[in-house]
Amino acid sequence: MLHRPIYLDCHATTPLDERVLEAMLPYFREQFGNPASSGHAYGWAAAAAVTQARETLAAAIHAEPEEMIFTSGATESNNLAIKGVAEAYFSQGRHLITLATEHRAVLDPCAYLESLGFEVTYLPVQADGRIDLEQLEAAIRPDTILVSVMAANNEIGVLHPLAAIGALCHRRNVLFHTDAAQAIGKVPLDVQAMQIDLLSLTAHKVYGPKGIGSLYVRRKQPRVQLAPQLHGGGQERGLRSGTLYPPQIVGFAKAIELAIAHQVTENQRIDTLRDRLWQALQAIDGIHLNGHPTHRLAGNLNVRVDGVDGQALLLGLQPVVAVSSGSACSSTTTAPSHVLTALGLSAPQAYASIRFGLGRFTTAAEIDQVAQHVTTTVRSLRQAVGQAV
């Protein structure tokens, strides 16, 4: 049997938790009804499951159930939030603000809006990857309608001060959207306390199924208006037409329920493993941490190694550990990571960077094995080109 590598790419996706699968199974066969079928028991059962799931998701972020709109994932949620706001509020302004380090699911919709005549300000970040709040405030104009800043960066794990951003946006009467795909279940999220108006979620980053996500849309103080991007049957308050898929929705809710229930203890465990890995890797001469050392996800470790070809390092690591050099959504490009270059890294430094994503099923024994293999691989690569180990 082929030995599978140790999986440390949990920012790309996570394995489906067995408990999530167990919750989903009845809705593939026995409870297969359409939630919109209101004339019989099959539809009622499906609708009840969707209602319960919506309540679970809302409670996780301190929202109201009717404020949760089901989508196919965070990419669709981001598109609905950004393009939906732009279309609904274009008479009030055509300026948006985001960060240069955002996920492509935010940057590409913004670029699309620019092609339609909107203006987008792409703020730089500090050397540690965090937003400069003074720069954000200075960038807000009378015609600014939306600020979009992700909660946790998918490459370097950096956490942004959501409450401070939300307070600033509301003080200036600007809507605030955050892509929280990487943050949910890992850091506390409270849309009321943080004054978040739109928040994107996905299931597959927290041991749930792929293909299901949600967008929180604030209904009061202020009531956010959105132009739907999908038209059809009028599901999801008319904001996202399409037949709901109960197995995915039930799995999404179960995954969030488990993540929230164990958030504190799991963060402590993973943080300890991450620090153990980083401590072991510091035996490598010329290794550096990318991003803020403490304001980051517990399971994230993004490092670069001086004088080592990143692609060669990835290939050398593959038999033992599955990691990545950046976002899985843009791994087909040959360009250096836009996130790492935004930190001020050169192209060679960005190419020489590796992202470790620890998760629920990572063990201490695996961490020790990975650290040893990384050290050995770097030594071999350097010896091959005559460098010091």
Of residues 96, 176, 82, the one with CA closest to residue 139: 96
Of residues 45, 15, 39, the one with CA closest to residue 27: 45
Exposed/middle/buried for residue 259 (C-beta within 10 Å: 0-12, 13-18, 19+) = buried
**Rounded CA separation 236/230 (Å):** 11
Buried/exposed code over 89-128 (b: 16+ C-beta within 10 A; e: otherwise): bbeebbbbbbbebbbbbbbebbeebeeeebebbbbebeeb
**Rounded CA separation 242/194 (Å):** 31
Instruction: Specify whether the CB–CB gap between 77 and 216 falls below 8 A.
Output: no
Catalytic residue, chosen from 10, 110, 169, 329, is: 329
**Rounded CA separation 209/115 (Å):** 34
Instruction: Specify whether the CB–CB gap between 313 and 354 falls below 8 A.
Output: yes
DSSP character at residue 64? -
329 is catalytic: yes
SS3 per-residue string spanning 255-285? HHHHHHHCHHHHHHHHHHHHHHHHHHHCCCC
Q: How many CB atoms lie within 10 A of CB 56?
A: 20
**Can you count the helices (H) and strands (E) in the chain?**
12, 12
Residues labelled as active-site residues: 329
